[in-house]
Amino acid sequence: MRLFITGASGFLGKNFINLALRKKIKIYALSRKKKYSKKLIWLKGDLKKKWKKELKKSDILVHFATHGVNNNNVQSIYETNFFESVEFINNAVKSNCKKWLIISSSSEYGLRSRKMKKIKLNANRIPYSDYGMSKAMFVDYCKKIAIKSKSKCRVMRLFPFYGKFEPKNRLYTSLMQSIKKKRTFKIKNPSEVRSFSNVSYISKVLLEALDFEKNYFKSFQTWNVSEERTMSVKDFVFEIWKKKSTKKVIYAKKNLFYTHIPDKNSLWKLNEESGK
């Protein structure tokens, strides 16, 4: 098996690639940054390039590339998450790479995370951010083009996750830095309830989802992905804090409430052997 991976140098991309390489999977890894490795083939560039030769040799496209989780540049969010991604999918079809694992986000559901205790796959999506909207638009396009081109598109909507290689300024990274430097940590939105997952679990699910015969489908399919460790942001922070530090934790005044909890029937069930 050979994969073409976009967003290969990102938080999740790095974790997924490390796991895939341990399984002896061959990889084309696309990144804007120039990198070297004897274990895979790094491609420096972006989604606008056609990558015709590499896509023709690839069995599955794994699309991690994204922009805007912590960015307010509206133009760049839609440029990367929709327009460039659409162009790239079209190039994959032209190159006869017709199996796609599209990595999306629970942000697609948007305001549903305020109106429903647990989010079902068939819930109407009401994105409340440009990031969520751009993701929803791209997924809808993938469904359309997959059916038209007789391709297979499996969309994996990820709920909140944390862990190794996580970018600065996110919850877990900021918490670990505060612990390391013995600083007081301020929790934003302490009452917000999330279904937290370690990135290692997410990577295992995505690796297993490369088997397009498992949970068989014809052209298009979506799954929610979560480890189901449901708790408030406050409880998540204290769970780690108590193990690592004795410094104080304080709460920010801002206290929006979203659930970010998937319905159990919407989740990809990881095989016991894969979970080890």
Q: Over the stretch 221-250, which tens digit does the pLDDT of each residue have? A: 999 999 989 999 989 998 888 776 646 677
| Rounded Cα–Cα distance for residues 101 and 104 (Å) | 10
Q: Does domain 2-161+197-227+262-275 have CATH number 1.20.810.10?
A: no
Model pLDDT, residue 189: 83
What is the residue-averaged pLDDT of the chain?
Answer: 90
Q: How confident is the model at residue 73 (pLDDT cuts 50, 70, 90)?
A: confident
Q: What is the pLDDT of residues 88-137, one digit of tens each?
A: 999 999 999 999 999 999 999 988 777 667 888 888 899 989 999 999 99
Does the pTM exceed 0.95? no
Alpha-carbon distance 185 to 208, whole Å?
37
Q: Are 98 and 151 in contact (CB under 8 A)?
A: yes
- Residues 183-235 pLDDT 10s: 888 888 888 888 999 999 999 999 999 999 999 999 999 999 999 899 999 89
What's the CA gap between 194 and 187, in Å, rounded?
14
